[in-house]
Structure 1
Amino acid sequence: METNILTGLIARQSARYGERAALSAPDNNGKWHDISWHNLSADVDTASAAMAVLGIREADNIATFSANRPENIVTDYACFNNRAVSVSIYATSSLEQLAYILNDASCPLLFVGNTTQYHIARRAMALCPSLKRIVVIKPIKLDEDDDTSMLWTDFMNLGRQASDEIKATVKSRTASATPDDIATLVYTSGTTGEPKGAVLTHSNYDAAMEAHLQRIDMVSDKDVSMAFLPLSHIFEKGWTYFCLVKGIKVAVNRDPQDIQSTIQQVRPTCMCAVPRFWEKVYTAVQEKIASMSPVMRMLVGMALKVGRRRNIEYARVGRKAPWWLETRYKFFDSKVFSLLRHAIGIDHGNIFPTAGAPVSPKIVEFFHSCGINIVVGYGLSETTATVACFPRVGWEIGSVGTPIPFVEVKIGEENEVLVKSPMVMRGYYNKPEETAKAFTPDGWFRTGDAGYIDDHGALFLTDRLKDLFKTSNGKYIAPQAIETLLGSDKYIDQIAVIGDRRKFVSALIVPDYTALKDFAAKERISYHSMDELVRNPRVRQLLTDRIEEIQKGLASYEKIKRFTILPKPFSMENGELTNTLKVKRHAVNRIYAKEIDAMYDC
């Protein structure tokens, strides 16, 4: 019988690596500790048995509602051992979002991470007839009237005390697993409409793992990866599975807000990130350079020119640099770039996959010039993550790379990117009509993204088709491209471009409040609230000047003519952002209708 890559993976790797570290994670005091392959395998076996004790059957959907924890990985692979399905739910989900997914997937068992998620889950239980049991990973005090929940330690004790019959049942399920089994339901973040569960089978993951083994051939089991993005997102989930397949140690970062300190402690060689992470690093580096002495600024400028020539003009296209350029690059690498990488926490950086939103070419070029291998890619939940990414050589700046092995890409009507691949989902769970809409009559998956393929086979994205709008003057606008351009400015943290059926393009801008406060202090601007500060004429003039400078290369009709500075950020809690931090345009247009109308009334 054909063996699934993920089913039984941890046991196979345990036999190979034994006491070598598979994972690392912080304890409650923030001290990092390793988890060996042997111990991880034992935990997966124990959790597998515990699920069977609780009556979990083959094909049951088991949900996890938690921030990143090693236990999330344990429950995933325990599901696979039982031929059950893993359903990951974002830790920041609301009661309504949680209840919707639990009901849609009819989940009988839910794992939650902490006290906050536990209390939301208890409220959800009253709304979800299928939910029978909650397991809380963090050791907390359960409600006194709660007779349906248990702590992780008690759950694991069930597995340790399981009968030989239960253990035999799990072993039989593992042995009978097939590639057609559903592995995960990955719910889309829902920028429009309700979330949809992408049905990803083991055969989808088998193909994805093999494709990445072929394309991402620069990593080895000597690498260390930081799981920074949510494991509930297909990008981090797929990458972490790939790391486990390769034997790469995975450091599980629990709180995204702690990444600056944890990256310094762990010093990973690999890490998935969204462009916003690198935008913030870029801004911090530029501020540091600006504060240097003239001599040091000149040295850094020379280093960047040499780095760009060596890494962009030669290494990028597979050409060997002349000896004199290589010699100068080695000098600047040791005197400048190595210090930069050390300051970030990636002294021994290997590969840094980056996706989830458009990446500014300026940022890609800058970090590659510094010897930081940002590998831009593109994918969706529905395609088991990667569709395309930078190859080792020959990648094009501004593109999302070339299709990875086993993936076909073509451009359809309205320049839509279409995909055909063994990694494409089976369909949306319980949604036959939505599934039918997602495919062309001849079986190509509709990504909803507009783009083109250049003469080198590189894929370039222009925007989300649903985001494209037309001004009242009949001009088409691609808001994501404008937002990416302006988002690299140090004073702009978030931006939503407006203009559908309007006379001109406008924007709602969430400033970087820290940078804005620094500006106010430098300019001796007094204020009593953030609302007062963002309305200050000098602050407005600052942003006006910077926006005008950044927009110089845009067509007149694309330029932002008016903008409103917001005193508080867009948030998931207010429904303005998805769990992957994408702007929900319909929600923003509704919530800020008054502010938007004001920009067009004057």
Structure 2
Amino acid sequence: MNLAEAIIRKNVEKHPLKSAIGFKKKDGKWKELSWNKFSEIIFKTANALKESGISENDKVAIYADNSAEWMIFDLAILSIGAITVPIYSTNNTEQAEFILKDSGAKSVLVGSQAQYDSCLEILKKESTDLKSIIISKKAVWIKKEFSSFYLEDFIAKSSAEFQFSEKKEDDTATIIYTSGTTGNPKGVMLPHTNFIKICDAHFEFFKFKNFEDEVSLAFLPLTHVFERSWSLLCLYGGARVYFLEDSKDIAKALVEVKPTMMCVVPRFLQKVYAGVLEKAEEGSSLKKKIFNWALETGKETAEFKRTEKSIPFGLKAKETVADLLVFSKIKEKLGGRLWFIPCGGASLSPEVTQFFESVDIHVTVGYGLTETTATLTAFPLTNFEHGSCGKPLPGVELRIGNHDEIQAKGNGIMKGYYNRPEETEKVFTQDGWFKTGDAGKFDENGNLFITDRIKDLMKTSNGKYIAPQMIENLLTNNNYISQITLIAEGRQFVSALIVPNFEFLKDYLSKKNIPFTSWEDIVKKKEIIDFYKEKINELQHQVSDFEKVKKFTLMPSEFEISSGEITPTLKVKRNVVMKKYADLIEEMY
């Protein structure tokens, strides 16, 4: 079945006047579209694409920030049986050109002036199959002679009468280029049925009640499989999805939209967690006592809920008071209604998940890849294990192969890498299991634990193996550390490049009356280095001696997407960072 049809048809029939999506207008106010209006715009866009020469199985790219237009265009492409090729909005001209050329995309939707200028430059070269550029916002200045059309004008004369293209079991819906921490990105081919089966598996797994009443806020990039799959799942289940165009506005949007659900990456939760603990630490001794009492009460209550045991009356009463005095204020900052947070993309320490469970927000840690249409495993609503990645979803088979590698079969597994049969062959075993590249193990209750990326494992000169993600995750739970890269391969001890959280560090400078000059000067000051030594030693007290960071260098600026140091999903490209800062690393040894 066609994925777009599976989402649109039943919702339009069931509740045509109910709001489907929300977005912010120029005046700063949020606007909603009903399922009737949403489907009408999708169908007009789909017909316009067909009239412009886009046929079944043609590739159409989206190179834009999150927006209602992003989702409308995606569903329109899928509706006519064409294939969506997302491009990260942060990609530069060269990176966008690689994807457009490799995929053979004939048309592209852009959202900003910079994205349009890049695509115009690519179109003029005639080095790709690109024939037209559609622009979602009229604020962008365009050159119409170069097959450039505003979306509003592009669909203006098209009909809203539409017939979905029929799709077979294995027909490709999208080609998603992996951001990858090494080499050129590869196009992952995912069929329509992958998304439908994964959606159905989630509803079977979680057994949501009244899902149509839920509200999701999409602020992670729709280009990434995680946010796109989650937003499609929400629409599939009839929930309302709001699209945030600038992720920097997340704090304000949370209060305005008041979502009940939202998918996030671990860094978001770590920042909230560290911020709350810092504020509590700054309070009076009485406020600290109340906060600690509330947290202990919340933990105790959460444990009863996790194990599906009846909560004693006295504890329930204490929880009510704890919520009134402490938790309600934390939840208010997140909009006040948030209760379910899928989290993936990297590991998350149990302290963080336990904290959110204590304030009655369920973080469902999951594990998956672009190649598996996101989720393979997730925390159930109850009987999950903190520190794990949860249990396999229905229709997913997992096994542990050579070198403790996690291997997968069943729902969600990709068709392969586009135009790369040899690369595809490398990631499948002879008996058809997909090799994830991650090392892991199961406990006696079937919970999956990730030990590390196999290729990231480091061996010191003393023969000890270091799993860097666990230590990096532990250290970035602290609000004074924003990013970190561990170094250990072939070395006698572990060292690290550490990017401070400059916002918190600036507050610290103010408190200690340390005059600000430049970050280059500040990170070299003895008192700042000593402050970080103390923090790191505190955080590592339970880590084995051979795994501890013995030396570190504070960086004067963050690792950036534009410089290639991190991926668009904020994962550090270890090999790029190691090469770029080789001299700094050598100085530590």
TM range (shorter): over 0.9
TM-score by length of 1: 0.95
Aligned to 1:393: 382
Give CA-to-partner distance per residue, 1:483-526, whole Å, 9 cap, x none. Answer: 00000111100000112111211000000111111111111112
Q: 1:166-565 counterparts in 2 under 5 A?
A: 171=163, 174-218=164-208, 220-312=211-303, 314-345=304-335, 347-565=336-554
Aligned to 1:132: 131
SS of the aligned residue for 2:86 comes to strand
Distance (Å, rounded) in 2 between the aligned partners of 1:369 and 1:65? 40
> 1:148 deviation in Å?
1.6
- Tell me whether 1:155 sits opposite 2:140 in the alignment: no
Cα–Cα, structure 1 residues 141 and 277, in superposed 2: closer, same or farther, change >3 Å?
closer
Aligned to 1:60: 58
In the alignment, structure 1 segments of 5+ residues that lack a partner are none
Distance (Å, rounded) in 1 between the aligned partners of 2:207 and 2:442? 24
Aligned to 1:44: 42
The amino acid of 1:325's aligned partner reads L
SS of the aligned residue for 2:570 comes to coil
Distance (Å, rounded) in 1 between the aligned partners of 2:28 and 2:102? 36
Selected match of 1:110 from 108, 113, 116: 108
Distance (Å, rounded) in 1 between the aligned partners of 2:512 and 2:491? 36
Distance (Å, rounded) in 2 between the aligned partners of 1:142 and 1:344? 36
The amino acid of 2:132's aligned partner reads R
Cα–Cα, structure 1 residues 127 and 264, in superposed 2: closer, same or farther, change >3 Å?
farther
Cα–Cα, structure 1 residues 104 and 307, in superposed 2: closer, same or farther, change >3 Å?
same
> 1:218 deviation in Å?
2.5
Identity %: 39
Cα–Cα, structure 1 residues 572 and 127, in superposed 2: closer, same or farther, change >3 Å?
farther
Distance (Å, rounded) in 2 between the aligned partners of 1:490 and 1:205? 36
How many pairs were matched up? 587
Distance (Å, rounded) in 2 between the aligned partners of 1:151 and 1:6? 23
Aligned to 1:599: 588
Larger deviation: 44-53 or 348-357? Answer: 348-357
Distance (Å, rounded) in 2 between the aligned partners of 1:144 and 1:404? 49
SS of the aligned residue for 2:85 comes to strand
**Structure 1 segments (4+ residues) deviating >6 Å:** none
Give CA-to-partner distance per residue, 1:105-141, whole Å, 9 cap, x none. Answer: 1000000011111111112222632000000111135
User: Do the aligned residues in 2 keep the contact of 1:4 with 1:179 (CA within 8 Å)?
Assistant: no
User: Do the aligned residues in 2 keep the contact of 1:186 with 1:381 (CA within 8 Å)?
Assistant: yes
SS of the aligned residue for 1:375 comes to strand
Larger deviation: 109-118 or 146-155? Answer: 146-155
Distance (Å, rounded) in 1 between the aligned partners of 2:24 and 2:578? 40
Distance (Å, rounded) in 1 between the aligned partners of 2:392 and 2:495? 35
Cα–Cα, structure 1 residues 394 and 141, in superposed 2: closer, same or farther, change >3 Å?
closer
User: Do the aligned residues in 2 keep the contact of 1:384 with 1:423 (CA within 8 Å)?
Assistant: yes
The amino acid of 2:190's aligned partner reads L
The amino acid of 1:336's aligned partner reads V
TM-score by length of 2: 0.97
Distance (Å, rounded) in 2 between the aligned partners of 1:578 and 1:98? 14
User: Do the aligned residues in 2 keep the contact of 1:53 with 1:158 (CA within 8 Å)?
Assistant: no
> 1:144 deviation in Å?
4.4
SS of the aligned residue for 1:594 comes to helix
SS of the aligned residue for 2:539 comes to helix
The amino acid of 1:426's aligned partner reads K
User: Do the aligned residues in 2 keep the contact of 1:409 with 1:420 (CA within 8 Å)?
Assistant: yes
RMSD of the alignment, in Å? 1.4
The amino acid of 1:398's aligned partner reads G
The amino acid of 1:281's aligned partner reads V
> 1:36 deviation in Å?
1.1
User: Do the aligned residues in 1 keep the contact of 2:201 with 2:395 (CA within 8 Å)?
Assistant: yes
Cα–Cα, structure 1 residues 304 and 559, in superposed 2: closer, same or farther, change >3 Å?
same
Distance (Å, rounded) in 1 between the aligned partners of 2:9 and 2:537? 58
User: Do the aligned residues in 2 keep the contact of 1:99 with 1:127 (CA within 8 Å)?
Assistant: no
Cα–Cα, structure 1 residues 482 and 468, in superposed 2: closer, same or farther, change >3 Å?
same
User: Do the aligned residues in 2 keep the contact of 1:8 with 1:81 (CA within 8 Å)?
Assistant: no
In the alignment, structure 2 segments of 5+ residues that lack a partner are none
Distance (Å, rounded) in 2 between the aligned partners of 1:523 and 1:9? 56
Aligned to 1:119: 117
